[in-house]
Amino acid sequence: MESNRERFSVGEIQCVAISDGTFSYPTGWFFSNVPQEQLEGSLRDHDLPLNQVVSPYTCLLVNAGKEKVLIDTGADGLAPTTGDLMKNLKAEGITPEEITTVVLTHAHPDHIGGVLDTGGKPAFPNARYLMSRTEWDFWTARPNLRGTGMDDHVKELLVNCALKNLPPLKPQMELLEAEKEIVPEIYAIPAPGHTPGHIALVISSAKEQLLHIADAVLHPMHLEYPAWRNVFDLNEGDAATTRRRLLDRAAADHTNVLAYHFPFPSLGRVMIHDNAWRWEPRPV
């Protein structure tokens, strides 16, 4: 394993988890409804920092026959610690021109930050881009994001990033409705709540499966404490329903899971423990 890339397979499909870097968030953004004393105690129990959450951004490259599918594009220059996707793709021997499909799980800046090149044109010139129609319509209509726990600066960052990065993709964009096969053995499934058109993905081959839950869960501690919330879920009720549905499915099927913000390479399984879920990282 490279520290910023990890190859693995799903049946006959070859995949690479690729790091775009990390970003440090205030703990209150990831765990927004938890009393401070309780939160600090739990963070200490897990040997985690009290004042920040260092969150990985893990993109996924899927080699599916003639298709090279990239799932999410990282944050580009959001911070000095982000924007490593292109460098790590190159280290993997992949050029932007080789990517045939770019799937955007949703339109937050850490997922669509790398869709354009420095000239404002699609960074993957030969690819079709895919996202949910609901997601596209929401962000391109300049939403005001009222009623969220985010401050005005963050709201403005999210909206401006979408308005900058999405319109140039329109000639290459395909909008998804409901559950959809993207390429053979890769399916998009609706997973709303984090954003209105947030999607998860299922990769299935030779009786093996990977469930890519994107941002349905942001941190392993959200499995252990299902009632804990984060400020980025635009609809908390739908997000909670989606989270339970995906985690119950992953636990029941004993399937492999990729979670975009979990410790790199963001791969593992969801187990049931003491009436809650528990994250079991993939051995490396």
Q: What are the tens digits of pLDDT across the range 252-265? A: 999 999 999 999 99
CA 34 to chain centre: 23
Q: What are the tens digits of pLDDT across the range 57-78? A: 999 999 998 999 999 999 999 9
**Mean pLDDT score, 173-201:** 97
pLDDT at 1 over 60: no
Maximum pairwise Cα distance, the chain: 53
Which CATH number fits the domain that encloses residue 38? 3.60.15.10
Count of domains for the chain: 1
pLDDT attached to residue 226? 85
| Burial state string for 3-25 with b = 16 or more CB within 10 A and e = fewer than 16 | ebbbebebeebebbbbbbbbbeb
Contact between residue 19 and residue 5 where contact means Cβ atoms under 8 Å apart: yes
pLDDT at 284 over 70: no
**Mean pLDDT score, 85-96:** 97
* H or E element that contains 203: strand 199-205
Q: Which residues constitute the domain of residue 80?
A: 5-281
Contact between residue 39 and residue 169 where contact means Cβ atoms under 8 Å apart: no
From residue 235, alpha-carbon distances to 146, 163, 246 in Å are 11, 21, 16
Partnered with residue 6 across adjacent β-strands are 17
Look at residues 253, 186, 176, 244 and name the one whose alpha carbon lies nearest to residue 216: 244
SS3 90: helix
